[in-house]
Amino acid sequence: MTLLQRMEEVERRIAAACERSGRRREDVHVVAVTKYVSLDMTGRVIRAGLTHIGENRWHHAESKWNEFRNEASWHFIGSLQSKKAKDLVGKFDYIHSLDRVSLAEAIEKQAQALDITVRCFIQVNVSGEQSKHGLAPNEVKPFLDKLSQYPHIEPIGLMTMAPYEAEPEETRPVFRSLRQLRNELNETRSIPLQHLSMGMSNDFEVAIEEGASWVRLGSILVGQEGD
């Protein structure tokens, strides 16, 4: 399939998932994950109209960001070491993986120096897998309370990664739990967490049905080199 054919197919599936769940299509946003494709392919993706770009390592993203910095919104979707925050803050518009105080401190320090506010998703390990990063669900509220001390960080939502399942339907409890957690947190927050970053190529339709506002799509959307 060509890039445009993949985009059309993904769009059809997103629209159908929204219709099934009674959601508005405009409330679901796509991050095109370009971490496995070249500078040239990333340019093709952006020119095709996919202008939210996701990368998970700065040394892979640097050349792409330098080339296309003003043509896209940049999402950092990987695990982030505190010492690497200085490389990303001011370049990436969204960080999807805030999950500890030391990282919040590093982001705040750099954002304060640049006089900017960084939009962050709090990463939650809903499934409890030891291989995954993120806070346990019961740690999220105290962490959010702590973030009030960092005025240059704007928590806009929650992020999670579901276990890979051969049958996507089996991921539904993970996504539902994240939505329920967000809703519970918002009952006590003056500024609500609006967004849920959840769902990837294997399970994005289930995630949308359960309330995802951002889905992170790699090869199913941007393809492989040579396409």
| Orientation of helix 39-47 relative to helix 58-68, angle to 10° | 50
Q: How confident is the model at residue 176 (pLDDT cuts 50, 70, 90)?
A: very high
Q: pLDDT digits over 70-127, tens only? A: 999 999 999 999 999 999 999 999 999 999 999 999 999 999 999 999 999 999 999 8
Q: Are 226 and 218 in contact (CB under 8 A)?
A: no
Q: Are 29 and 45 in contact (CB under 8 A)?
A: no
- Burial of 187 per CB tally in 10 Å (0-12, 13-18, 19+): exposed
Run of H or E residues at 9: helix 3-21
Mean pLDDT of the chain: 95
What share of the chain in percent tops pLDDT 70? 99
Looking at residue 225, its pLDDT comes to 63
Residue 166: its pLDDT value, please?
87
Predicted local confidence at residue 129, as pLDDT: 82
pLDDT at 226 > cutoff 80:
no
Q: Which pLDDT score, from 0 to 100, does residue 128 have?
A: 83
- Name the phi and psi angles at 32, rounded to 5: -85, 115
pLDDT in tens, 129-156: 887 899 999 999 999 999 999 999 999 9
